[in-house]
Amino acid sequence: MRDFGASTVTGPKHSNSLLHCFAFRGRVKRRPGKGLALPPLKRKGWRAQELIEFAVIFPILILFVFGIIDLGRVFQVLIAISNAAREGARHGISYGFDRSTPGAEYILYETIIDNAAIQEAGNFDLKLTAAQVTPSCPETCIAGKPLRVVVTYTFKPIIPIVFPASGLNLVRDMEMVIP
């Protein structure tokens, strides 16, 4: 005789597996003066209750999981557009100006900066266009002044319940001083 908590089941002495419990399903042993000892199985109606609880919790769990996935994707896109802005600014201060006239204001070549930012975003499988990359000089484009590159991207979520269906507008900018 094996003791499984409050219920008692007869069976092999050396079996501790769940199969042992299921093998004696339906067998009930009478205990003198104590009534019946039921096998350690779930009572009738518990299975339906479990299914209803699962049906209520499962959609919430799925939203939670996809929300975490979308949040991870948001951070990945933020890293990608930050790197794109940084690379555009780095490339811009090196190759993005016409410095033929010393002492005069430099001419900004936006296409060179745009292409550097778009190529860097492509390393993250992110598709940017030239309209999403905005290089500018906040003051004047001369040595010692900053060059600012702003990258914008609209993030589209997997499930629009977690984030807005229209998407999140993500913006990153980078400033570097023109040498």
From 70, 88, 71, select the one nearest 151 (Cα to Cα).
88
| CB distance 114 to 130 below 8 Å | yes
Q: pLDDT digit string (tens) for 88-117?
A: 999 999 998 887 777 778 888 999 999 999
The residue extents of the domains of the chain are 2-37, 46-177
| CB distance 129 to 121 below 8 Å | no
Q: In the prediction, which pLDDT does 35 show?
A: 61
The residue that leads in pLDDT, 36 or 155, is 155
| CB distance 76 to 124 below 8 Å | yes
Is residue 82 over pLDDT 90? yes
Q: Which pTM was predicted?
A: 0.69
Q: pLDDT digit string (tens) for 31-78?
A: 566 665 555 555 666 778 889 999 999 999 998 998 899 899 999 999
For residue 4, the number of C-alpha atoms closer than 13 Å in the C-beta half-sphere is: 19
**Cα–Cα dist 125/166, whole Å:** 21
The tokens describing 35, both together, are 């009534």
Is residue 21 over pLDDT 50? no
